Each structure stands twice: as C-alpha cells, then as structure tokens.
Amino acid sequence: MTIPTRILSLAMFLVISAAAQATPLMEETFDYTVGPLAGNNGGTGFSDAWVSTIPSTTATIDITSGSIAFSDYATTGNKVTLDLVTEPAGPAVAIYSRRTVSVGVPSGDMWVSYLYQRQDAAGDNTSRTARVGFNDGVIHFDTAIKASSSQGIAVRYEGSFGTAAADVSVQDGSAYMAIVKYADLGNIGSLASFWVFSAAGFDSIKGGGIDESELDGAAVLKATDTVSTAEVLTAFLDQLSLVNVSNTYPFKFDIDEIRMSTTLADVVPVAALQPGDANGDGMVNLSDLQILGDNWQSTTATWSEADFTGDSTVNLADLQILGDNWGFGTGPDVSFDEALAQVAVPEPAAIGLLGIGGLMLLHRRRAC
C-alpha cells in the first residue's frame, strides 16, 4: 500500500514526539533500599536528604519492596509507605517526611504527578488525611488524596483546602494516579486543578501522549481551588512533604513516582503506542479497525478511539496509518481488504468507509 508522504511523516513525528520523555525539574522514584525513608538522598531536584517526624512508637515511614503497579506506567525502584498502625484514643497523630526542593517554577504553570494506593482499605473513616504537597512551614501547593472530611480528594493553592470532590472513593485499595496543575503562579484568581485517574481512565488517554484537554473526561475525581492572595510565589516551593494524619487507626498508604515540572508531558511520561493499535494490546488487527469504524468522522476522538494523528478527528489519515500497519504483532488473519468488508460501520459512516476502502485499494494497485 502506498501512503502519501505527508501523512506518513506526520504519523512518524507524533510517534517520536510521544516516545521522547522530557526530564522533570523534580523527580522522586524512591529507588532506595528497603528500610526507613529518613536519610535517603536520591532523586532529582533536591538539596538534602529525607527527614521524618514520627511522634509515635508504632508508626513508620519506610521504603517498602516494589513499585506501585499502575497500568503499564513505567516505575523505578520501590515505594514509600506511611503507616499509622495503632494509637490510643485522643487527638489526631501526624507523621510526615520532608526534604528541601532545590528547583522552582519562576512563572507560568506548575504540574505535579504521583501514584497513590491505600493499603488498609478500610470502610468509612472521615478522620484521616493523606497529603502530598510543598511548604515552607506554611502549606502551599498541597493535595489531599484522602481528604479529612470525606472519602474524596481536595487541593489548595494556599490557605485552606477547596471543596472536596467525593463522588467516587479512591480508598478501595486500587492504585491511582494523581495529576495537579497550579496555573499562572503568583496571580490572584489562579486555579489549582487536581485530577485522579484509575488505570482504566489512564489507559483511555495515554496513546500518543496525554493532552490536558483529555483529563476532565478520563478522571474519576477532580477538585479545584483558587488562589486568593498574590503571596503564592515560587519562594514558597521549599520542601516536598508527605503527610499521614489520623485519629482513627490503622491508616496506611503508599506513594510513588512523584514528579514536578512546567508541563504535563514532563510529569506524566508515557511510551508511544504502535501506530494503528487503538486498544493498546500490541497488535493491529480487526479489533482496531472496528474501533476506527465505530468512531468514523468523530471530531473529539482520542488514540483509543482511533485518532492516530492527534488531530481529534478519525478520517482517511487514520485509516491509512492502520492499513499500513495491518497485522503488526501477530500477522493478519485476513487481508486488510477482507477486514474492511467485515467491519460493521454505523450509518452514515459506512458509505464513507467503503469509499475510503476503494481509495486505498486504488493506492495499492498503483503501487503494484
């Protein structure tokens, strides 16, 4: 099959761009030996080692074996586990670890990402908070992946947390990805947005790289907060903090793969998928063609809906990319022409798809 050079070039450019992973300003993958977190001094963008505050004889903040497994997201080393095992009845106990951040974002947007997984997976418990944020003695740029007043999430740009989003609980023991955007640093009215994704939601948008416009539709929860003073500047980006606060026990969770930078692509590196592989199974076959047919002429499509060129539209260019990679991974059970005849395409897309099949057959014959 002969593919116009401009379409092939565009497809290759998008694949190369998605595969290229920019380096975040700050990165902590917890690639340390199993044992206490305190004293470890790896990662990127820090000027000192982790220091832990644990006012309890039973609580621990430890490096534990293995990374958090989240879809096919690339992880390194181990993870950190904050564990409030048991305490006598009384005021809430807080355990936390901090280390100094040596880099900042001078202006514009700041993005943060990390993985989270609840370990004790208890039922209703409103007196527990799991936080990942930045502070200089006063908390700024803070997220609560477990908000104290609900099973939901919350974010704060400065001051108090915004309204929690609690339509779905992310305290069920599954792994989740947190993505945060602190927009337009230092300006009154700037918005902090905090999205949390299940593995399925992440999978639905990861193909070809993740775009900000896809986040709302794929997240299981989203919380926001607006800065009310102009004091939130990069000077406050002093220490990265991990916090576990509770007055009901046990409360145990894992954190992994923390990144901070100026773009979404920097903090959520994703590997490129095979062109034409809409469902991400490593093969280009009838299942992918059916997905393309189901979304034919869509103008809001993602990679998982057969938009392989990144223009949000499913059209001839995407079909040509799929046809050029037909049989990748396993070899074709049927020819591409036979597959086109098998795919049930809803009207009015059927007419368009059949017409395009004829065009592609014409291209093939000309190439012979």
Each residue's pLDDT tens digit, 89-145: 567 788 999 999 988 776 789 999 999 999 986 655 667 899 999 876 666 788 999
Do 343 and 319 form a contact (C-beta atoms < 8 A)? no
Q: pLDDT value at position 332? A: 64
Other Cβ atoms closer than 10 A to 306: 28
What share of the chain has pLDDT > 90, as a percent? 39
Higher pLDDT, residue 228 or 143: 143
Q: pLDDT value at position 348? A: 43
Higher pLDDT, residue 356 or 184: 184
CA distances from 328 to 97, 152, 281 (A): 47, 42, 11
Of 2.60.120.200, 3.40.50.1110, 2.40.100.10, 3.40.50.300, the CATH number of 24-267 is 2.60.120.200
Do 192 and 180 form a contact (C-beta atoms < 8 A)? yes
Lowest mean pLDDT: which of 14-28, 134-148, 219-233, 327-341? 14-28
Other Cβ atoms closer than 10 A to 62: 17
Residue 322 predicted with pLDDT over 50: yes
SS3 state at 290:
helix
Radius of gyration of the chain measured on its C-alpha atoms: 24
Kindly list the domain boundaries of the chain, sorted by start residue: 5-14+272-367, 24-267
Give the model's confidence band at 9: pLDDT under 50 very low, under 70 low, under 90 confident, else very high: very low
Residue 336 predicted with pLDDT over 90: no
Q: What is the mean pLDDT of the chain?
A: 81
Do 353 and 341 form a contact (C-beta atoms < 8 A)? no
Q: pLDDT value at position 124? A: 52
Q: pLDDT value at position 87? A: 61
Q: What DSSP assignment string belongs to 345-362?
A: --TTHHHHHHHHHHHHHH
Lowest mean pLDDT: which of 152-166, 195-209, 242-256, 351-365? 351-365
Amino acid symbol at 78: N
Do 338 and 318 form a contact (C-beta atoms < 8 A)? no
